[in-house]
Amino acid sequence: MTETTRPLPAERPRAVGFDRTRLRWEVWLVLGVSVGQSALYSVLSIVRTTIETMSRGQTVGDAQTQLNPTQDAAAFWDILYQFLDVFFSFVLIALVVYLLWSAGDSALRRIGLDFRRFGGDLGRAALLAAVIGVPGLGLYVVGRLLGLTLQVQASPLDAAWYTVPLLLLAALRAGVLEEVVFNGYLFDRLRRLGWSWWAIILTAAGLRGLYHAYQGVPAIIGNAVMGVVFGWCYRRWGRVMPLVIAHTLIDVVAFIGYPLAVSLWPGVFG
């Protein structure tokens, strides 16, 4: 009996032009949200272990490691890990934008995540932030008084020199991630699947509410309402930038203004 061999798959032609550029981005982004991210944290772990053991006059072999290490309380490692957490969130955002990218069509321009109309976007964002932020704050207070909303633990603004910059980055991350995914991405993909505009708006709003379910029932309702308003605005304006700015402003007030409110009204916010 003669041995049969399975033919090798035909080699694909090399990518050129746009396809080559797209493949480069794809490789970096996929690695950035998967094994590449884990590899970087792994390297940082052994570097940290080496530095700490050498500072104690020991060798690396004398030290112990954990498969799921907790973040070091030291300021340097604390800021490094928090910064990397924000950085890899932006890598995930870049992957979503990449999925919307096609030949001859800028994904950022298509969803309106650019600075072409920054003045108008800023004005619309300020209006949205006031319309959503003020009632949202009131809903939180009512929820706390009724015992329906979980208490938010505020980070002291003077905990470290980097606390405020990291809170600002966290607010920007939340604004970009949620608005790009819930509006820019879902609206494009679900519309291509034949969904009606209101079906998309309500679905995205429901997902937004569930995304914040850990904060309690009022937060689910408030964020769902926010999703409906933001979805309607995106459908009308065709731009995600004012939504990103408004969301970021709301979170900046929440992340930085909330600790001040706790100190002033501990009975309500504390």
Q: What confidence tens digit (pLDDT) does each residue in 174-216 have? A: 999 999 999 999 999 999 999 999 999 999 999 999 998 877 7
One-letter identity of residue 123:
G
**Tokens in use for 114?**
């650019």
- Does residue 65 or residue 4 have the better pLDDT? 4
Question: What confidence score (pLDDT) does residue 48 get?
Answer: 82
71 pLDDT higher than 50: no
pTM over the 0.75 mark: yes
CA distance 251 to 133: 9
**Tokens in use for 6?**
């399975």
Residue 163, CB half-sphere, CA atoms under 13 Å: how many?
11
Per-domain residue ranges of the chain: 18-62+72-105, 113-270
Average pLDDT over residues 118-142: 81
88 pLDDT higher than 90: yes
63 pLDDT higher than 60: no
229 pLDDT higher than 70: yes
Question: What confidence score (pLDDT) does residue 266 get?
Answer: 56
**pLDDT tier, 218 (very low <50, low <70, confident <90, very high otherwise):** confident
Query: Shortest CA distance to 186 belongs to which of 250, 234, 124?
Result: 234
Q: Over the chain, what is the mean pLDDT?
A: 80
**Long-range pairs for 71-76: beta carbons < 8 A, 24 or more residues apart:** 72/48, 75/160, 75/162
Length of the chain: 270
Determine contact, residues 112/238, Cβ cutoff 8 Å. Answer: yes
Angle between helices 35-55 and 17-32 (to 10 degrees): 50
11 pLDDT higher than 70: no
One-letter identity of residue 157:
L
Buried b or exposed e, range 79-111, using 16+ CB within 10 angstroms:
beebeeeeebbebbbbbbbeebbeeeeebbebb
139 pLDDT higher than 90: no
Question: What confidence score (pLDDT) does residue 214 get?
Answer: 78
Average pLDDT over residues 155-160: 58
3-state secondary structure of 252: helix
- Report the range out of 63-77, 140-154, 166-180 with the highest average pLDDT: 166-180
Bridge partner residues of 216 (DSSP):
149
**pLDDT tier, 19 (very low <50, low <70, confident <90, very high otherwise):** confident
